[in-house]
Structure 1
Amino acid sequence: MSDDDSVLLHTEGRAGYLTLNRPRALNALNHAMVRRIDEALTAWEHDPAVATVVIGGAGTRGLCAGGDIRSIHDDARAGGGEASRAFWRDEYRLNARIARYTKPTVALMDGIVMGGGVGVSAHGDVRVVTDRSRIAMPETGIGFVPDVGGTYLLSRAPGEVGTHLALTGDAVGAADALLCGLADHFLPSERLPEFGAALAGSELPDALRRFAAPAPDGELAAHRGWIDACYAAGTVEEIVDRLERAGEQGAKEAAATLLSRSPTALKVTLAALRRARGLGTLEEVLDQEYRVSCTALGSPDLVEGVRAQIIDKDRNPRWSPSRLQDVPAAEVDRHFRPLGAAELGLAQSRPTAL
């Protein structure tokens, strides 16, 4: 498949349709795809015939499973991370651009939407989920930290629900995505193609009134008591202790999940979320995430996590250090140091074309 085929573009009526087209890789994003999306947004921004941009994914499994982490793993091992840093610079700029885009964007968040898939969908104007949606920021499971504006979104979820999702990496369905502010509207999956097609000839509000429906019940709302109480703790160690003592099966399972994740990634993620709450804009948070990502690129846990989950698939990562109590505060703080001339710098200027 050529780079041009990895993102399909066409216009019909009032809409521009952008389809991520790597279904065998669950539409995982690479650098060429990010550039092609940005080029399409530039063209359509200046095309008076295009009133709405619709973002979807090819195949039946989902919108996008995230970034191409195998390539990041290989780059970190062999190339020193230069290609990954360049990819993130453009990807994060694209995330910010989608959030500030001058025309409405509609993201069809059907099926699996994870990591980078959240970045190209959940910052848009209209985020549509279905009965098939499974949305997650699963980075701590590969020794990484939620990025693409994920810490911005999750830090603003109700109570401590966002902390729970960021640390565990758990996937949520439609109702819980709505609860967390990751989505706006629910449609039955079988009506999604009809809704997407209708945007060519209908005003966006009219199409939403015709197709949107109440979402089935979710799960998180019923667990807000122990989630808010446990994840309000000041350290990951205390969060795990509270979860283990909460007397709830869900809390016990969450504690076990955390103890399987990268200790360093967990501590940096918690710090990133707490810092994101105090930052005013998505651009400021993306600048912070870029610092964290670039630092994590040199961590042994990212390479090891991708090896265990994606390459060897033994699901048995050997984290370094392996225990929460052995991660020094200085190591966490190191992830947030300014990068000098290498800063992303989005907060200093509104995002434009790459």
Structure 2
Amino acid sequence: MLAEESVQLEKHAGLAVVTLNRPQVINVLTTDMLRRLDAFLDEVAADEHLHILVLRGAGARGFCAGADVKWLRQCVLEGQPERGDEFFAVEYALDLRLHRFPKPIVALMEGVTMGGGLGLAIGARYRIATPTTRLAMPEVHIGFFPDVGASWFLNQLPGAWGRYLALTGESIDGATAQAVGLATHYLDGLPTAELVERLPANPDLSWLDAPGQPDRTTVVHDDWVATHFSQPSLDAVRASLEAASDERSQKAAQALRAASPHSLALTWHLLCTAPPTSLEEAFHREADLARQAIRHPDYAEGVRARLVDKDFRPRWQVGNT
């Protein structure tokens, strides 16, 4: 195994370990990385000596910041959007496979776990958040929409939490992620490296479910989230936030003002107007919409403003949705 490989694939002591290894860019995903991971899943599924699959990211900054959106933008600008189509097809097929994988998966969601990174982790049976976790689906701010199955799994969150995260792109910490169900466990005090070391001796993983996870029902039943994001329309959500004077509401209102109008309308339609009835339907619909979204002017412009020039002044195609 070479240290410079973009994804490291290991087998030892009953464990299959995948390490996303582009720490300089928070392990953003490429088509090649996804294809290699998919081929590795074939090996893991067939090997009776491997009992658990671990997903983790290299470096201290995070598990995975999602797709390599700057590369995707470049494909569009160079007149090769079909390369982006290929990426999404491979990504969505892999993510769905992880949801259905026959062996337990442990995803270590340390640090930044966003967009396509959450898409990889969300299918795991054990999704481990830590005090460093920062989880988000921020796509509306780059002219895209919450994908990787988010039109399904965000709607499984309690109350209006899914709408809140999708429309604002706001990040949440590990404790909140565990409270609303995006993480299954919150690990505070046990380093994830030590967790991985314990797995071979404790392959049933029941010890992870030991008492001690704090009660966070007040987070789940957040009146502020319910008040503003249970509104019957996107315009009503905006009006509710704009009418409120508290800092949290004003921050959320600003997040909506900064987002692509096209992305917000698309996200509302996917999550609220016509939500998918299954995870499989979610991926099918998202694949069609992803092909359209990267060809919309807001995508190249949103990535430019946020990640290329970093002027945070996107010129959205208002009215052209």
* TM-score, reference length from structure 1: 0.85
Q: 1:225 to 1:206 in 2, by over 3 A?
A: closer
Once the two structures are superposed, the pairs formed by residues 217-256 of structure 1 within 5 Å of their partners are 220-221=219-220, 224-256=222-254
Q: What's 1:145 paired with?
A: 145
Q: What's 1:154 paired with?
A: 154
Q: Which residue identity does 1:312 align to in structure 2? A: D
Q: What's 1:57 paired with?
A: 57
Superposed displacement of residue 218, structure 1: 9.7
Q: Which residue identity does 1:195 align to in structure 2? A: L
Name the Cα RMSD after superposition.
Answer: 2.1
Superposed displacement of residue 220, structure 1: 4.7
Once the two structures are superposed, the pairs formed by residues 1-354 of structure 1 within 5 Å of their partners are 5-188=5-188, 191-209=191-209, 213-214=212-213, 220-221=219-220, 224-275=222-273, 277=275, 279-321=276-318, 326=319, 331=321
Q: Residue 106 of structure 2: SS of its match in structure 1?
A: strand
Superposed displacement of residue 209, structure 1: 4.7
Q: Residue 55 of structure 2: SS of its match in structure 1?
A: strand
- Partners in 2 of 1:3 and 1:59 — Cα distance? 12
- Once structures 1 and 2 are overlaid, which stretch shifts more, 182-191 or 1-10? 1-10
Superposed displacement of residue 75, structure 1: 0.6
- Partners in 2 of 1:3 and 1:122 — Cα distance? 27
Q: Which runs of 5 or more structure 1 residues have no equivalent in the other structure?
A: 332-354
- Once structures 1 and 2 are overlaid, which stretch shifts more, 88-97 or 184-193? 184-193
Q: Which residue identity does 2:265 align to in structure 1? A: K
* TM-score, reference length from structure 2: 0.94
Superposed displacement of residue 163, structure 1: 0.3
**Contact between 1:130 and 1:174, CA under 8 Å: does it hold in 2?**
yes
- Partners in 2 of 1:225 and 1:148 — Cα distance? 28
- Partners in 1 of 2:72 and 2:2 — Cα distance? 20
- Partners in 1 of 2:93 and 2:30 — Cα distance? 14
Superposed displacement of residue 196, structure 1: 1.0
- Partners in 1 of 2:168 and 2:188 — Cα distance? 28
Q: Which runs of 5 or more structure 2 residues have no equivalent in the other structure?
A: none
Q: 1:8-62 CA distances to partner (integer Å, 9 max, x unpaired)? A: 1111211111100000111000000000110111101000000000000001111
Q: 1:118-168 CA distances to partner (integer Å, 9 max, x unpaired)? A: 011011111010010000000001011011112211111111111010011
Q: Residue 33 of structure 2: SS of its match in structure 1?
A: helix
Identity of aligned residues (%): 35
- Once structures 1 and 2 are overlaid, which stretch shifts more, 237-246 or 100-109? 237-246
Superposed displacement of residue 219, structure 1: 8.6
**Contact between 2:158 and 2:220, CA under 8 Å: does it hold in 1?**
no
- Partners in 1 of 2:95 and 2:192 — Cα distance? 24
- Partners in 1 of 2:282 and 2:72 — Cα distance? 22
Superposed displacement of residue 248, structure 1: 3.0
**Contact between 2:199 and 2:205, CA under 8 Å: does it hold in 1?**
no
Q: Residue 18 of structure 2: SS of its match in structure 1?
A: strand
**Contact between 1:137 and 1:171, CA under 8 Å: does it hold in 2?**
yes
Number of equivalences: 321
- Partners in 2 of 1:302 and 1:308 — Cα distance? 10
